[in-house]
Amino acid sequence: MSDEAKTLAAAAALDLVEDGMRLGIGTGSTAAAFIDLLGARVAQGLTVTGVPTSERSARQCRDLSIPLTTLDETPELDLAVDGADEFDPALNLIKGGGGALLREKIVAAAAARFVVIADAGKQVDVLGRFPLPVEIVPMAMHPLSLRIAGWGAQVTLRQTAPGEPFVSDEGHHILDCAFGPSIGNPAELARRLSALPGVVEHGLFCGMAERVIIGHADRVETLMG
C-alpha cells in the first residue's frame, strides 16, 4: 500500500472523529498514518482521549501529545480505528500480523463503533490466505500446535529476528496458523479456537467492524457491514 493510499484511508477515518471522543487507536502502518493525522488535529485544538492497542502506538501518541487513557479509566469508547491483514465481503477480519491482536480485540469490543482502514490488497473473497495469528500461553505451545495442525493448518511459532519466540505486550507467544487457501466458516473456527485451553485470543474478528475504508492511490471506497 502506498503512503498516499494509507493517508487517504486514514484521513477518511479521521473525518469520523468528533471533538470530545474517546478513541481506540490501532496498531500497524495504516494506523500509524491515522495517528499522525490525529496528532496534527490535536495540535490544532481537537480534544480527544485515546486507548492505544500497543506500546508502539502508545509511544507514537505520546510523541504527538495525543492524550491517552486506559480502559480502567474509560471502559466505554466512542470509536476505534485500526487496520487489518485481511477482510472478506462480510467484513470478517484477520488481524494480528503486528502481534497486537489481544489488545486490538479488547479495544474494538469496548467501542461503540469499530472502523477498519486497509488497502485493496487486503480484500479477499474468503479469509485464509494470511496466516491466522493465535495468541497462547507459552506452556501450551506444543499441545496447541498439534491440535490446530490436526485441523489442517500449518502451524509456526512466531519468532523475532534473532530466533527467539516473539513475546506480545501481554507476555504471550503467537502461533501463526496457515489454513490456506481458505477458512470456510470463520465464526465456527473462532468458536473452536476460543474453546481450547491455553488459547488467550485469536485474530479472527467476526461481526465486529462497522465499515472498512479501503485506500487506493487516488481515492477511497467504503464497505459497510
221 is catalytic: no
- Element (DSSP H or E) covering residue 158: none
The answer to whether 197 and 137 have CB atoms below 8 angstroms apart is no
Q: Which of 104, 164, 188, 221 is catalytic?
A: 104
Yes or no: say if 44 and 131 are a contact pair by the CB < 8 Å rule: no
**Residue 79 CB burial class (10 angstroms; 0-12, 13-18, ≥19):** buried
Residue ranges with strand state E in the chain: 22-25, 49-52, 79-82, 86-87, 93-94, 114-119, 132-136, 154-157, 173-178, 199-202, 204-205, 211-215, 220-224
Contact 55, 62 (CB under 8 A): no
Q: Which three cell numbers stand for residue 182?
A: 481458505
SS3 assignment, position 10: helix
Active site residues: 104
